[in-house]
Amino acid sequence: MRIKVVSFLILIGFLSLLPCKGNALPFDSASLLKVYEDSMKAVQFIRINARSDKEKMEANTKLYNWMSKALALPTSFDYPFDSLKTIGRLMSPDKQFRIINWDVPVSGGKVAYYGFIQSFNAKKKKYDVFVLTDKTEDIINPQNATCTPDKWMGMLYFKIIKEKGVKFYTLLAWEGVSKQITRKVIDILTFNSQGIPTFGKAVFMKLPSTYKGAIKRMIFEYSADVTMSLSYNDPKNQIVFDLLGPREDGLEGQHQYYGPSFQIDGLNWRSGMWEYISNVKALNPNDKGDPKYKDPKNDDYKINKKVYKTK
């Protein structure tokens, strides 16, 4: 790896002496992207598995700096970084932006979050890169806060949803808070006329009384010892999630003792907003109420005859 890095620095020094007209570059940016990816690949596990916080953060600093430089290169938006197995890479359904982010577990059960948004700026006709700076501890009332890239509520995103007819995106995320508490989050991302991203928007309606006011994101807080389900049902335009509750009476409000109940709640997409619904009916693929249900009596749907066309 040292040879690669040294070679890369020599290459940069040489290229800086060459003339460059406009945005044209006298080198293959894809080759440089591969050099950066290989360098990040070598440290991605160290930031997680190193014995000390110091070693983790040193590895993370290298990873962060290399990713920052990589995303500044032409053609980087379409570069997959697919060897970085511990780094989240999410492209929006309309291909207008992507989120690249990751975490660093540190002592005491805490987690630090890092990331970038790379988005297409229609006015400038180019891609912008925004650094996501984790300021979770400075954010008061996170359920109602409007956040910016430089004051970001750190988390790991695992789904980007784009419904038709609106200019915002719905994000599903996971956040490790401590040894005792985990969160899952439904957040909202918008871009203003200048292409600058903002997190948080009041697009939730008919929420239960436990939610106070017009919240800008939904936060589910529960015991780190259990797992909560949060997912998107694309055919139904519906977000579904476990209803959380305390494991015993008398523990209300102490979220380190919360976990999934036997009920599934959700959000239905309606008139440009997310409408809360209680006790979602779970339909299996054989239920005629399910959009994916295929009638076995349909002559065009005969698995035994290898005919898969459906009406």
Inter-residue contact 15 to 26 (CB < 8 Å): yes
pLDDT, tens digit, 9 for 90 and up, residues 177-223? 999 999 999 999 999 999 999 999 999 999 998 888 899 999 999 99
pLDDT, tens digit, 9 for 90 and up, residues 71-108? 999 899 999 999 999 999 999 999 999 999 999 999 98
Inter-residue contact 232 to 248 (CB < 8 Å): no
Q: How far apart are CA 190 and CA 195, in angstroms?
A: 9
Cα dihedral value 25, 98, 47, 66, nearest 10: 10
Q: How far apart are CA 281 and CA 238, in angstroms?
A: 12
Q: Is this prediction's pTM over 0.85? A: no
pLDDT, tens digit, 9 for 90 and up, residues 278-308? 999 865 444 444 443 334 334 332 222 222 2
Residue 74 CB partners (closer than 8 Å, separation 6+)? 23, 25, 29
pLDDT range class, residue 27, cuts 50, 70, 90: low
Average pLDDT over residues 148-156: 98
Give the per-residue pLDDT at 172: 98
Pairing of strands 197-199, 181-191: antiparallel
For Cα atoms 54, 65, 135, give the angle at the middle one, nearest 5 degrees: 70
pLDDT, tens digit, 9 for 90 and up, residues 222-263? 999 999 999 999 999 999 999 999 999 999 999 999 999 989
Residue type, 29: S
Residue 217 neighbours by CB distance under 10 Å: 24
Closest among 11, 14, 13, 17 to 31, alpha carbons compared: 11
DSSP string, the chain: -HHHHHHHHHHHHHHTTS---TT--SS-HHHHHHHHHHHHHHHTTHHHH-SSHHHHHHHHHHHHHHHHHHHTSTTGGG---TT-TTSEEEE-TTSSEEEEEEEEE-GGG-EEEEEEEEEEETTTTEEEEEEEEB-GGG-SSTTT--BBTTBB---EEEEEE--TT-S-EEEEEEEE-SSSEEEEEEEEEEE-TT--EEE----EES--TTS-SS-SSEEEEEETTS---EEEETTTTEEEEEEEEESSTT-TT-GGGEEEEEEEEEEEEETTEEEEESSPPP--TT-TTSTT---TT-TT-BGGGTB----
Q: Encoding tokens for residue 197?
A: 């991203």
**Residue 22 scores a pLDDT above 50:** no
